[in-house]
Structure 1
Amino acid sequence: MPDCLGIDTSNYTTSAALYCKQGILQRKKLLPVREGALGLRQSDAVFHHVQQLPELVEALLKESDGCIGAVGVSSRPRDQAGSYMPCFTVGTGVARSLAAALKIPLFYFSHQAGHIAAALYSAGCMEWVERPFLAFHVSGGTTEAVRVTPDPEGILRADIAATSLDLKAGQAIDRVGGLLGLPFPSGRAMEALALASKAEFRPRASMKGGNCSLSGVQNQCEKLLREGAPKEDVALYCLLSVHAALDAMAAALTEKHPGLPILFAGGVSGCSILRERLSRKYQAKFAEPDFSSDNAAGVALLASLRLNHIMGNE
């Protein structure tokens, strides 16, 4: 099969990937965020993607020793009506130009589908594309679980099964990270700090049915700080609060959909504190760290699956 190029211009990472005989080759670069800030305006994200994407694609294509058979790109955050973010227009524009110049197919996918595909690949679960399963997408912009069903055309069909009703897990972590003076995004620094804590917490999840609420996490962490708790204890409490919410969501979903395996994708799911507890309790599969954060790997993989389907029908 020819190589397939994937492109993803998400809110905080520019990335390109190549699915080829060597496996998946990746090039990605975080968008620069001013110190002390808790994010970027979309106009700034678009500008930085315009600057960063060409150099990543150029570097990646130099590593390809075969022909490019298709281009895949993230064109929207999720496979839901009205799902849109301006930053994805940068990737789609470059992808359209490359596909037209090379006279090869161009396939559009959601950012979420790319996360799920990358997680399947790195967790060694690619056979799941032929069966229903549950997937959690846990990141700065999304905290939800979807029921994924197989599609004969090589597209992952995802229907929302549970979600956060307010803050997303990554937002909660970044806000508490700001209180603790951690860099943005705060996930890795928060995890390192939490692992130094010896405290024991059992935070309770705030739930409405199978959906969670994370808006109270920041208030509880602020209270701990006012009471003089060490920063490492506050970091642990924050991550355990996220775990409690995900645990409650998973418990509700396994009761509603017995027998379906569970996959975790997205940058927040790369946290070892979450991974250890949830994988043990639910036998859940997790993306490897390099495939859990925003990446174009899953998009390249989906493009290959889609191309395989088309070529198999010719």
Structure 2
Amino acid sequence: MAAFLGIDTSNYTTSAAVYDAKSNLIIHQKKLLPVEIGALGLKQSDAVFCHVKQLPVIMEQLSALQPAFDFDAVGYSARPRDAEGSYMPCFLVGECAARSIAAALKIPAYGFSHQAGHIAAALYSVKRLDLMNRRFIAFHVSGGTTDCLLVSPGKEQLLDINQIASSLDLKAGQAIDRVGVMLGLPFPAGRHLEELALTSSTRFKITPTIRGMDCCLSGLENICKRMVVDGKPSCDIAFYCIEHIAATLDKMTELVLKEYGNLPIIYAGGVMSNSIIRARFTEKYGGMFAEPEYSSDNAAGVAILTASKAGQLR
């Protein structure tokens, strides 16, 4: 069995996955980090402590799905992005576990960026791992990023990821979570805000704030605050929030395609699991969206990158 273990300990989720290179199948387990009601995330020290408690349980659950593994290599998320100075303490938990496993089994351990893992997981989900060998556009939209990326085949890191557009202030996932908490929804609020938005019948005309190819989203939060004060229905506020983000990403996509040509587009990250956004961009741009389990934080992409690094990707 050519099996490759991936571990990702992000600021939101503890996750582990195994990629079987012979069958091209993945099994994975993940668990959200616990956040108190009304809070907007966790301090890094708290996230690290939660991962330390949750990762052994996740590994035990993964092992129960298929008791015997003969790993060829182990991969882990080492940093948020492939950029100088990109660092987040919570990823140290996954790195420590992965390197310890690798040392005990005398197998290689490879570190990747969390962002690269998101992209690889999305490519696996849409059955387009072949794109790892050509240029394409990737949107990574989550609690910590609203990035448009030009991705090319790389060497050491396999994917050469260059940011070509981003949010200049608030990130899309932050906006969703802040509006969700305003409305009394649990954190992270994405799924709950979407369910609420789908009950709205109001339609909005939105002009996104664009600077070059970058965007600004702080105005979205301010508008939603005013809607709350004005007593607007919660479902309409939720729908406005999602529609504002969709309109912003729509304009960014339009500008990027004009600049870089008609390249394949993949949408990854937790925000991109939203069904409202997905339907719009699939129809308009032929955009490829990962299934929700591979769009939100997960270790599947790290396991795939590990197999590729070892020369075993199908």
TM-score (norm 2): 0.96
Distance 2:224 2:51 in 1: 34
Q: Which runs of 4+ in 1 moved over 6 A?
A: none
Of the candidates 115, 122, 127, which is equivalent to residue 125 of structure 2?
Answer: 122
1:11 corresponds in structure 2 to 11
Worse-superposed segment, 63-72 or 252-261: 63-72
- State the one-letter code of the partner of 1:42: Q
1:143 corresponds in structure 2 to 146
Q: Secondary structure at the match of 2:311?
A: helix
Q: Secondary structure at the match of 1:308?
A: coil
State yes or no: 1:53 paired with 2:55: yes
Of the candidates 195, 214, 224, which is equivalent to residue 227 of structure 2?
Answer: 224
- State the one-letter code of the partner of 2:18: L
Q: CA-to-partner distance for each residue in 1:16-73, whole Å, 9 max, x for gaps? A: 0000137110110110001111110000000000001112113223415441000010
> What percentage of aligned pairs have identical amino acids?
55
Q: Which residues in structure 2 correspond to 1:46-125 (within 5 Å)?
A: 46-62=48-64, 63-125=66-128
Distance 2:100 2:169 in 1: 38
Distance 1:202 1:105 in 2: 53
2:39 corresponds in structure 1 to 37
- State the one-letter code of the partner of 1:73: Y
Distance 1:160 1:152 in 2: 18
Distance 2:249 2:24 in 1: 35
Residues 141 and 147, structure 2, Cα contact 8 Å, conserved in 1 = yes
Residues 154 and 305, structure 1, Cα contact 8 Å, conserved in 2 = no
Please, which runs of 5 or more residues in structure 2 have no aligned partner? none
Aligned length: 311
Q: CA-to-partner distance for each residue in 1:207-238, whole Å, 9 max, x for gaps? A: 10000000011111122222222110000000
1:212 corresponds in structure 2 to 215
Of the candidates 295, 307, 310, which is equivalent to residue 310 of structure 2?
Answer: 307
Distance 1:226 1:28 in 2: 37
Q: Secondary structure at the match of 2:165?
A: strand
Residues 202 and 240, structure 1, Cα contact 8 Å, conserved in 2 = no
Shift of residue 152, structure 1, vs aligned partner = 5.2
Shift of residue 195, structure 1, vs aligned partner = 0.4
TM-score (norm 1): 0.96
Please, which runs of 5 or more residues in structure 1 have no aligned partner? none
